[in-house]
Structure 1
Amino acid sequence: MDLRRLETLLAVAEEGNFGRAANRLFLSKAAVTEHVKQLERDFGVRLLDRAPVRLTPAGLRLAGHARSLLAAAENARADVADAASRERAGLRVGVMGHGSAELTPATLRAFRTAHPEFDLRLVPLDFTEHVSALLEHRVDIAFVRPAPDDERVEVDVLTTERRIVVVPARWDLADAPQVHLADVLDLPFIRLPERTPRPFTDYLYFTAARGGEAPRRAADDAVNPHEVLTAAAAGRGAGSALESFQRFYPWPGTRCVPVVDAPWEHSVLVSRAGDREPAVRAFRDVATGIARELGPGLRLTPT
């Protein structure tokens, strides 16, 4: 089916005149007439009454389908053009929470300066998108935590930080200068949705320290730092994070307390295994270079 003929049919119906439709479409009147006749031959039915010019019942049915087909064709053109544009010069960078502390904005600034030819776009990620956004091609590279153990991705470690717990300010634990794992394992932790990847839930709940057992669960769910802090401020439960978290999320009604004997964890940059796209490789080079340069001076301990 020729979409141009469908467009012609709609133009004639909307204008109510073959000549005006021809002017609108930049066609000759004879071409417009031939388009309509060819459609009528294709469908074996009269689609337009000529005097006055109006759609027949069959023509009305076809006009509805024609509008849908033309809209779908336009959406397809736009989608393909968008994909082609991304392939040429796009880089979608996923950022979970505050990413890799000060390294995240430093990397973004340096990459934009060094590679203005790439269109850089940031995509916020929640806890359920630990690697799924990357594997589903919704982002091209991402700042996440902790480091995934997944052969489908490549991992660049950017920071290694002490762990903290985030608790309501009115809890007794909030006044402690530091705590041990034994002090936090029985806390009611804010829940994560069932679809959250296991590596992230194990990280949040200190699962290894409790021998694989599930923690006490608070009543509220959370998929991002804002929701964790809102629930904690309301006294609804505890969360955990890397130590840089408290520099990026000062939140009334909450306290961040270091867990001195918890294993330190990484924040990382992840990309798809074997991805050799120039933008991805360039971004990894910039990020790892800045990590080496700023690592020793990065504020991983709050002042």
Structure 2
Amino acid sequence: MDPQQLRTLTAVVRLGSFSEAARELGYTQSAVSQQVAALEADLGTVLLERRPVRTTEAGERLLEHAGPLLLRLDAARADVRRLAAAPTARLLIGAAGASVTPRLAHALAEVRSAYPRLDLTIDQVARADITAQVATGALDLGLVDGVAAPSDPLALPDAGPLVTVAVAEEPLAVALPAAHPLARRPGLALADLADARWLDAPDVAMDLDRLRTVAGTDGFRAAARYRGGEVRGLLALVAAGHGLALLPATAAAGAADVAAVPLRSPRLVHRTELVHGSLPDGPAALLVRLLDGGRPDGLSVGPSAGRSAGFSPLAG
């Protein structure tokens, strides 16, 4: 199976048009049609109905494989290029939400001391995209965060030979309005909050699908959706009564008119990890060594330090 034909097929399906796919890929429309036809001949089945453009059952099944296959090819290319790359003074880190911790900030200061001309950029990236962007070389390093049992590593999607280093682990708290009837409780059980109104904020707080999974119950209805990346904006919505949110305790605390009640059950923590591929000597490699050789905020160096990325959806 030719990877380029597979990329062409995915572009046609995503754009819903042979001509739009040709424009995006820089081909003629006839070249796009020929590539799709060649892929169909190779597999011995029709993948697309042409007018209108839509996938057949076989085409749908192939697309389920296409994303992971193309990602692994891009990751392999990036991994080999990293090994051959010359040292650089650039450091591009992707982070979601409030995942830049004090420990990481201090480690970055040490890196800047070693590389005074360092061009450092920390970009806000959606949680779901960070691992793939590190694997394909779009990011030098990525900060992933999510919910896990104490000292357990996060589960990451299979995106190539990536490694993670534990950066921080801290308790979770339910953020709710200060006047809420539960605001004075010493702790809360997640299962008891299934019928409450929640804020769906996947880039800042624990996402609602994950809440249902860890609580082992349905519910956790989204009263409103917050697509911003700032915790402050989310807490303003909490304070105004738009819904609850589950956050790292330090992120939930200190906001006006918001109570941060510790999560007592199930026993979970918010964990932050740095994910990377093979690294030539330079700022990124130094940062990894600094983090891997120390004690993450609030926990001992545990099983995630230096581990390979796993094969299940990202905890969050």
Aligned match for 2:291, one of 284, 287, 293: 287
Distance change >3 Å, CA 287–CA 223, structure 1 → 2: same
Q: Deviations over 1:145-186 (max 9, x none)?
A: 113422324221222222111112221112222212233233
Alpha-carbon distance in 1 for matches of 2:290, 2:178: 39
Is 2:101 the partner of 1:96?
A: no
Aligned match for 1:263, one of 259, 262, 267: 267
What's the Cα RMSD here?
Answer: 3.3
Residue matched to 1:105: 105
Q: Which amino acid aligns with 1:102?
A: P
Residue matched to 1:155: 164
Q: Which amino acid aligns with 1:289?
A: G
Is 2:207 the partner of 1:201?
A: yes
Q: Which amino acid aligns with 2:291?
A: A
Aligned match for 2:200, one of 191, 199, 208: 191
Distance change >3 Å, CA 116–CA 252, structure 1 → 2: same
Alpha-carbon distance in 2 for matches of 1:136, 1:105: 25
Distance change >3 Å, CA 271–CA 182, structure 1 → 2: closer
Alpha-carbon distance in 2 for matches of 1:253, 1:210: 27
Residue matched to 2:258: 254
Distance change >3 Å, CA 87–CA 229, structure 1 → 2: farther
Distance change >3 Å, CA 96–CA 167, structure 1 → 2: same
The aligned runs of 1:1-303 (5 Å cut-off) are 88-99=88-99, 101-127=101-127, 129-131=129-131, 133-135=133-135, 137-146=137-146, 147-152=154-159, 153-192=162-201, 201=207, 205-211=210-216, 213=218, 215-224=220-229, 225-246=231-252, 250-276=254-280, 278-291=282-295, 295=299
Q: Which amino acid aligns with 1:188?
A: R
Please state how far the C-alpha of 1:136 moved relative to its aligned partner. 5.9
SS of the aligned residue for 1:131 comes to helix
Alpha-carbon distance in 2 for matches of 1:192, 1:105: 25
Distance change >3 Å, CA 214–CA 127, structure 1 → 2: farther
Alpha-carbon distance in 1 for matches of 2:88, 2:172: 40
Residues 95, 142 of structure 1: 8 Å contact kept: yes
Alpha-carbon distance in 1 for matches of 2:297, 2:261: 28
Q: Which amino acid aligns with 2:240?
A: A
Alpha-carbon distance in 2 for matches of 1:132, 1:168: 36
Q: Which amino acid aligns with 1:155?
A: T
What residue ranges of structure 2 are gaps of 5+ in the alignment? Answer: 1-85, 147-153, 301-316
Q: What percent of counterpart residues are identical?
A: 18
Alpha-carbon distance in 1 for matches of 2:99, 2:265: 23
Residues paired across the two proteins, number: 205
Alpha-carbon distance in 1 for matches of 2:206, 2:136: 18
What residue ranges of structure 1 are gaps of 5+ in the alignment? Answer: 1-85, 297-303
SS of the aligned residue for 1:259 comes to strand
Distance change >3 Å, CA 101–CA 256, structure 1 → 2: farther
SS of the aligned residue for 2:293 comes to helix
Query: Where is the helix percentage greater, Structure 1 or Structure 2?
Result: 1
Residues 95, 130 of structure 2: 8 Å contact kept: no
Q: Which amino acid aligns with 1:89?
A: A
Residues 90, 279 of structure 1: 8 Å contact kept: yes
So what's the TM-score if we normalise by structure 2? 0.55
Q: Which amino acid aligns with 2:216?
A: G
So what's the TM-score if we normalise by structure 1? 0.57
Q: Deviations over 1:51-98 (max 9, x none)?
A: xxxxxxxxxxxxxxxxxxxxxxxxxxxxxxxxxxx9732001223333
Distance change >3 Å, CA 200–CA 236, structure 1 → 2: closer
Please state how far the C-alpha of 1:107 moved relative to its aligned partner. 1.9
Q: Which amino acid aligns with 1:282?
A: L
Please state how far the C-alpha of 1:214 moved relative to its aligned partner. 5.3
